[in-house]
Amino acid sequence: MTTMQVDLVSSEEQIFSGEAEFLVVPGSEGEIGIYPHHIPLISKLSPGVVRVKLPQKEMHLVYAISGGYVEIQGNKVTVLADVVERTDDLDEAKLLEEKRIAEERLKRSNVSMDVDDVKAYAALELIIAQLKAVDYLHKQSRRS
Amino acid sequence: MAAGKEIRTKIKSVQNTQKITRAMQMVATSKMRKTQERMRQARPYAEKVREVMAHLAQVNSSARRSSPFLREPAEIKKVGIILITADKGLCGGLNTNAVKLFSEKLREYRNAGIAVEVSTLGQKGLVAAKRLKSEVVSSAVNLGDIPRMEKIIGPLTGVFKDFYEQKLDAIYVIYSEFINTMKQQAVFEQILPLSDRDLKLDTKMPWDYIYEPSAEEVLDELVRRYVESVIYQCLADNMASEQAARMIAMRSATDNAGEAIHQLSLAYNKSRQAAITKELSEIVSGAAAV
């Protein structure tokens, strides 16, 4: 099977770089699945899960991102993510607790959003993305 | 023997100071390595964003023309300066040089009748900007030893918004560039509008992308991210400079303390010798008198 070059970089460091068979990113207009030789595309990304299928591997690599951009040209895919969380060290119970705290905070200040609320909101979106990633990992391990 | 005792106390105190400066030197050395690593790690992102943005601006000229970020202002009425300094002192002339450059530029603009708004990253810059009675619109302090994107996005957002809404005609940054361990230099660079150098591509690629949502929106957001990553790089540079400068400053402080200890021990030995000689001659002359 053909592969494509995938680079996943966050503003602070390079997270992943290598060949992949298939890639799923959370586009702002809907989830985008990318196979090799995709047409050139730039899309905004929403908070969500990035999945990478490596050649000759059953399991997908899973990352939670808080938004960013994906660029496809030639046979190269670049994911420019704002914040990336690796999923190998995610703790579901802790995330659920964080989610609850963030939601409560946002409930209290529903009308006028100040800077901290916006930050809390962004944090919440990332937490939700992480939870989705954990969820996906569970499903994946159950299948295999 | 009173003088001898005083000198001994003094030596002790210099030794204590030397211990502190040596510890600070070693801490700065290890932190410098870490910040340099960070500097290197952030590079792929900045390079990638630049590539994509440059390509987009080249193939899609209508998006380029309509982007407020890429306009060339006809006349400069108000500029924004982002002043990056360290949070702490004890790092030689690093902050002083940056602040000096800042006050020079501030004077230049004031004389030319151009208004300046300032955004500061780092404690020292904030204090200096307030002292110089400049218009500080946003600031971030306690940046820590590792540059964090989330710390700088807040203060930058306001400045970008002003540029976007055409309240500002240009944005500059002042930071200490890391040249090597021995040399750091305060520099003044233009951030916005982007120069042609930033948008230049070596190879011609005539094809266009599919855009989601729209080309204009994508370009504006990319420029924003690019500028943020440039500032992030500046901050990382500044932090590496800070640690390097502190390391050098503390090393010379340690050396100076060693020198001072040497001088003091010489003085102490001399005074002790003098006291012994004096006592001896007293005894001898006492014995001769008898």
> Does B1 have pLDDT greater than 50?
no
Q: Is the ipTM of this complex over 0.90?
A: no
pTM score: 0.81
CATH 1.10.10.10 assigned to domain B42-244? The reply is no
Q: Is B232 on the interface with A (CB under 8 A)?
A: yes
**For a pLDDT cut of 90, what percent of chain B falls above it?**
44
Does A42 contact B210 at a Cβ distance shorter than 8 Å?
A: yes
Does A43 contact B149 at a Cβ distance shorter than 8 Å?
A: no
Contacts of A78 in chain B (CB under 8 A): 48, 52
Using CB atoms and an 8 Å cut-off, which of residues 19-48 of chain A contact chain B? Answer: 27-29, 39-44
**Each residue of B215-224: pLDDT tens digit?**
888 888 888 8
- Of the three residues A86, A102, A125, the one that is the final residue of a domain is A86
Could you tell me the residue range of the domain that residue A127 belongs to?
92-143
> How far A121 CA sits from the closest chain B CA (Å)?
14
Instruction: Provide DSSP, chain B.
Output: -HHHHHHHHHHHHHHHHHHHHHHHHHHHHHHHHHHHHHHHHTHHHHHHHHHHHHHHHHH-HHHHHH-GGG---SS--EEEEEEE--SS--BTBHHHHHHHHHHHHHHHHHHTT-EEEEEEESHHHHHHHHHTT-EEEEEE----SS--HHHHHHHHHHHHHHHHTTS-SEEEEEEEEEEETTEEEEEEEEEESPPHHHH--SS------EEES-HHHHHHHHHHHHHHHHHHHHHHHHHHHHHHHHHHHHHHHHHHHHHHHHHHHHHHHHHHHHHHHHHHHHHHHHHHH-
Q: Domain holding A36: CATH number?
A: 2.60.15.10
The pLDDT value given to residue B190: 87
Assess whether A138 and A111 both reside in one domain: yes
Number of folded domains that form chain A: 2
- Mean pLDDT, range A53-63, rounded to an integer: 84
Does B212 contact A12 at a Cβ distance shorter than 8 Å?
A: no
Assess whether A18 and A72 both reside in one domain: yes
**Each residue of A97-139: pLDDT tens digit?**
777 777 777 777 655 566 666 677 777 777 888 888 778 777 7
Q: Which of A14, A42, A80 sits opposite B41 (nearest CB)?
A: A14
Assess whether A136 and A121 both reside in one domain: yes
